[in-house]
């Protein structure tokens, strides 16, 4: 059993009842530093239901918002303790997550709905869910950023290539040139949104050249942009990378958001010394 206050506990099921066997998350949950997720469902333009969650900082707000897009696309957000969400909410951001068509967990038709058609129904779904979430006065509809990794990085680049509604973006380990059709490709030449590109040197799943090409295109056109490159890391950096690199990633992400979406808890410019990505030994 997992939820937003524990990465996982063992539960014994017997006769329709359940008994908690472990309390691995009790110490962290008892600190009061973890923020509860709120479940909701929105409606896409074609009437399709879009399921997801909103996690907000304490206080009335309005809080700046980060739309967080998962990878895959056949993956999903869920009731889980996700460090990315907790770190950003602790820094003063409301985090919006949803499972658009193409995600897992909602049946075969849902997962196959965007086959050979990325950037259509999935993009419609995440924007519909975002708009529904922004109806809450605790969320600041005028201060919204977008971020995602892998397929989520692709979808982030696609969205900021279509609209300038976002204050800033983070495209992480993304692939920005699917190559099957122009409609599915993220139009980097149309991006004007300030964008941080994050990639790992040894990412064999989404090659480094995808990130560097996007960064070069943005810099060439004068779009505010940064490239954060991690040596010796692969596609799973944010989940199983070196602790020093995972810390550096969070520090640079928060610095980026402080620049474009400052909060009282993340005012920027950062006064603490940032941990820079550490090169491999022997290189």
Catalytic residues: 150, 235
Which of 129, 68, 125 has its CA nearest to residue 93?
68
* Distance in angstroms between the alpha carbons of the first and the last residue of the chain: 42
Say how far apart CA 232 and CA 241 lie, in whole Å: 9
Rounded to 5 degrees, what are φ and ψ at 56? -120, 155
Q: What distance lies between CA 144 and its chain's CA centroid? A: 13
Residues 69, 96 contacting (CB under 8 angstroms)? no
Say how far apart CA 205 and CA 24 lie, in whole Å: 33
Say how far apart CA 102 and CA 86 lie, in whole Å: 25
The DSSP 8-state label assigned to residue 250 in this structure reads: H
Residues 268, 244 contacting (CB under 8 angstroms)? no
Say how far apart CA 230 and CA 245 lie, in whole Å: 7
């Amino acid at each position: 059993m997992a939820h937003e206050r524990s990465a996982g506990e063992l539960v014994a099921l017997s006769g329709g009842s359940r008994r908690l066997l472990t309390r691995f998350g009790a110490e962290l949950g008892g600190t009061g530093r973890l923020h509860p997720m709120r479940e909701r469902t929105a409606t896409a333009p074609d009437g399709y239901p879009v399921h997801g969650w909103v996690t907000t900082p304490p206080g009335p707000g309005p809080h700046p918002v980060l739309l967080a897009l998962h990878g895959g696309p056949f993956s999903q957000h869920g009731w889980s303790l996700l460090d990315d969400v907790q770190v950003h909410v602790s820094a003063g951001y409301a985090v919006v997550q949803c499972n658009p068509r193409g995600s897992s967990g909602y049946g075969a038709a849902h997962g196959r709905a965007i086959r050979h058609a990325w950037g259509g129904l999935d993009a419609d779904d995440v924007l519909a869910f975002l708009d529904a979430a922004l109806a809450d006065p605790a969320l600041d509809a005028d201060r919204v950023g977008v971020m995602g990794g892998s397929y989520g990085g692709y979808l982030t680049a696609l969205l900021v290539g279509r609209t300038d509604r976002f204050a800033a973006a983070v495209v992480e380990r993304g692939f920005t040139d699917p190559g099957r059709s122009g409609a599915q490709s993220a139009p980097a030449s149309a991006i004007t949104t300030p964008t941080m590109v994050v990639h790992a040197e040894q990412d064999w799943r989404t090659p480094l050249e995808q990130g560097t090409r996007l960064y070069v295109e943005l810099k060439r056109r004068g779009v505010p942009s940064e490239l954060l490159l991690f040596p010796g890391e692969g596609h799973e950096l944010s989940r199983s990378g070196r602790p020093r690199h995972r810390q550096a990633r969070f520090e640079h992400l928060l610095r980026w958001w402080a620049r474009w979406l400052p909060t009282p808890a993340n005012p920027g410019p950062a006064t603490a010394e940032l941990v820079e990505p550490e090169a491999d030994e022997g290189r």
